[in-house]
Structure 1
Amino acid sequence: MYMIKAKTLKQGDSIGIITPSAAAPVKFKARYNRGLNQLRKMGFHIIEGKCSNKSQAYRSSTIKERSEEINELIYNKKVKAIISTIGGANSNSLLPYIDYEHLKKDPKIFMGYSDVTALLLGIYAKTGLTTFYGPAIVPSFGEFPELLPKGKEYFENVVQLNRRAPYTIEIPEYWTEEMIDWSTQDREKQMVQNDGWKCLKPGSATGRIIGGNLNTMSGFIASDYFPSVKDSILFIEDSFKDMATQERSLSMLKVAGVFDEIKGLIVGKHEHFDDLNSPFTIEDLLLEILGDTNIPIITNVDIGHTFPSHVFPIGIGIELDASNGCITFLEDAVME
């Protein structure tokens, strides 16, 4: 696939804000505003999408309006990056209505995580544009009292080119999955010592990094919006799922032939995983499902729903050295 990269995000640039699924800006207005102010303190201008103030039960607005919100920011020449407010459950509804051809002509940084996986992979599949599995406004930039320093560093390393490739991404010393009610939070989350990244199967491989939230993939995996994973390094992560659900989701990748095509696998930390008192671990389950598939695998990686999380640029070349627990970005994700 021919790759496209957006330009480096610089201070003074405008960032467009989208709410493609859950109505978090309405439900958690203070945290949303804190996230916007965090970006302003980092030197960026904010252009809010029209769904930021809308709420329809489980979603922000209609499929039409949410699609229009994205396209209006794609058409806006001032906008250099588009960042989601949060995930949800229904970003896949928007995939048929995004103006991919215009995005090819005016590439922008497109970032989010969780349910936004559908948009990130869909855009990459249709355009070849590198997209970014990274922080969202409400859960990440809006953290109390501010964005975690390491989260800020990882964001700036990738989209502002504070680090130039090739470089090996670090294992954060501390992390958290603590849940505090966003409406009443009045203290920082408790951080705990990081156990590090774990080699489940040794070996090394290079390839394009592709992936996202495992649960979200079920909403579009057999479609034209799911990119080819042949010879890629796949990353997956999930949140608040149980062992039975994970067996179903991992087996979805198995029966779809994904594990037969990839060259390596990165598994992120699972936020608040429920093992259902199973007499085996999630790693045991993964190996059971993989069967004879022999690829390097690393688990417990800081990506997705736990914090701080690395920004993974979908489509760039990386090296996975599972034997030594290393992930190296081999190319920059944006252009100067």
Structure 2
Amino acid sequence: MFEKLKPGDTIGIFTPSSPETVTSRQRFERGKRFLEEKGFRIKEGNLTNKKDFYRSGTPRERAEELNLLLREPEVKMIMSTIGGTNSNSMLPYIDYELFKQNPKLVVGYSDATAVLLALYAKTGIPVFYGPALIPSFGEFPPLVDDTYEYFSNLFMNDSPMPYSVPMPGKWSDEASNWLEKTKEKTVYDNQWLSVNGGIAEGRLIGGNVNAMYGFIGTEYFPDVQEGDILLIEDCAKTTSTVEKNFAMLKLHGVFDKVGAILLGKHEQYDDMGTGRLPHEVLVEQLDGRQIPIIAEFDCAHTHPMHAMPIGRRVRVDADHLKVTLIEEWM
């Protein structure tokens, strides 16, 4: 379906919500320069360097920015610059038939979840929950290099299927060095966590839980199927909000269907003095369902970050902390 990326290819960038190409100009330029130094051409969407108060443009303008990139024959990948809060408002104006007729690699995370899942729901074409230009490739070494290594494994190298997703040795969620480097970021030894044991295979679905809150139950949200593998993550939320969002998934019947859960690391989590971790809040909402769960997975707002193929089959082995991509998309 897709060709592998190679140096010289064009990556188009779009800004579905927050106008960070303006408000985080230094980090935007650094991320753009990082990918250009890897040999890519960057085609800026027409809302790059635009700001409409808290967003990059109106819902229609933001959708048209994406539509224009979908029309560009030289663009092989479309990457979000960053997320935000209201990508859901652009969903009615995206040209889904255009994407269906001209499939491209589309990658992003956080609030861009709305765009990713809507594209998949409307077309069945896989999309990728993974790095965004500003937060991911505007990061400083060494963690940006790890993210790029995983990015190139997935989109550039001849990594044979099945592909075993490697667990990074180090990680960080320290909120420093956003615009410029002022200190060495604190990094931690990494370890995924088996919450419930077991092995499951299924279609990967999911993304940022807080973004899902804005469009779940609509025509733009994929139908969750029996045996799906659910990827969920969030950032900068309190325990109270985490409970609300997990309960939302429960009330929509999601936990009655999924075969396993990948719970991403929660960047800058606030336990509100409870001592409760996100996976403990999740287990409470499962009401005894013994769904295999790997928590602290590195496909989230923390660094480094893997890209994961929404709409393709993966295997989760929570007994041995292994995540394997088993279905081709290239």
Normalised TM-score (structure 1): 0.94
What is the rounded CA distance, in whole Å, between the counterparts of 1:155 and 1:130 in structure 2?
A: 16
1:282 maps onto 2:278 in alignment: yes
SS in 2 for 1:300: strand
What is the rounded CA distance, in whole Å, between the counterparts of 1:104 and 1:58 in structure 2?
A: 31
Give the letter aligned to residue 285 of structure 2: I
SS in 1 for 2:319: helix
Q: CA deviation at 1:159?
A: 1.3
What is the rounded CA distance, in whole Å, between the counterparts of 1:129 and 1:167 in structure 2?
A: 20
Distance 1:147 1:81, change over 3 A: farther
Match of 2:164 among 147, 168, 171: 168
Contact 2:260/2:291 (8 A) holds in 1 = yes
1:213 maps onto 2:241 in alignment: no
Query: Counterparts in 2 of 1:1-336, with a 5 A limit?
Result: 5-144=1-140, 148-194=144-190, 196-230=191-225, 231-278=227-274, 280-333=276-329, 335=330
Contact 1:16/1:46 (8 A) holds in 2 = yes
Distance 1:69 1:189, change over 3 A: same
What is the rounded CA distance, in whole Å, between the counterparts of 1:52 and 1:146 in structure 2?
A: 27
Q: CA deviation at 1:186?
A: 3.6
What is the rounded CA distance, in whole Å, between the counterparts of 2:237 and 2:205 in structure 1?
A: 21
Give the letter aligned to residue 237 of structure 2: K
Q: CA deviation at 1:332?
A: 2.9
Distance 1:221 1:137, change over 3 A: same
Distance 1:188 1:132, change over 3 A: farther
Contact 1:156/1:162 (8 A) holds in 2 = no
What is the rounded CA distance, in whole Å, between the counterparts of 1:294 and 1:214 in structure 2?
A: 21
Contact 2:143/2:171 (8 A) holds in 1 = no
Distance 1:282 1:15, change over 3 A: closer
RMSD of aligned residue pairs (Cα, Å): 1.4
Contact 1:150/1:308 (8 A) holds in 2 = yes
Residue by residue over 1:270-300, the C-alpha shift from the partner in whole angstroms, topping out at 9 and shown as x without a partner, is: 0011111125443332222101322111111
Q: CA deviation at 1:188?
A: 4.4
Residue by residue over 1:236-266, the C-alpha shift from the partner in whole angstroms, topping out at 9 and shown as x without a partner, is: 0000001110111000000100000111111
In structure 2, runs of 5+ residues without a counterpart are none
Between 140-149 and 39-48, the greater mean CA deviation after superposition: 140-149
Give the letter aligned to residue 217 of structure 1: M
Identity level (%): 46
What is the rounded CA distance, in whole Å, between the counterparts of 1:46 and 1:236 in structure 2?
A: 29
Contact 1:86/1:112 (8 A) holds in 2 = yes
Between 217-226 and 147-156, the greater mean CA deviation after superposition: 147-156
SS in 2 for 1:60: coil
Q: CA deviation at 1:147?
A: 6.5
In structure 1, runs of 5+ residues without a counterpart are none
Residue by residue over 1:123-170, the C-alpha shift from the partner in whole angstroms, topping out at 9 and shown as x without a partner, is: 011111111111111111111358622101110111113422102111
Between 139-148 and 61-70, the greater mean CA deviation after superposition: 139-148
Give the letter aligned to residue 208 of structure 2: N
Distance 1:279 1:153, change over 3 A: closer
Between 242-251 and 292-301, the greater mean CA deviation after superposition: 292-301
Contact 1:218/1:249 (8 A) holds in 2 = yes
Moved >4 Å (runs of 4+): none
Between 290-299 and 141-150, the greater mean CA deviation after superposition: 141-150
What is the rounded CA distance, in whole Å, between the counterparts of 2:97 and 2:276 in structure 1?
A: 47
Contact 1:15/1:83 (8 A) holds in 2 = yes
Contact 2:143/2:304 (8 A) holds in 1 = no
What is the rounded CA distance, in whole Å, between the counterparts of 1:159 and 1:279 in structure 2?
A: 39
Give the letter aligned to residue 204 of structure 2: I
What is the rounded CA distance, in whole Å, between the counterparts of 2:290 and 2:45 in structure 1?
A: 45
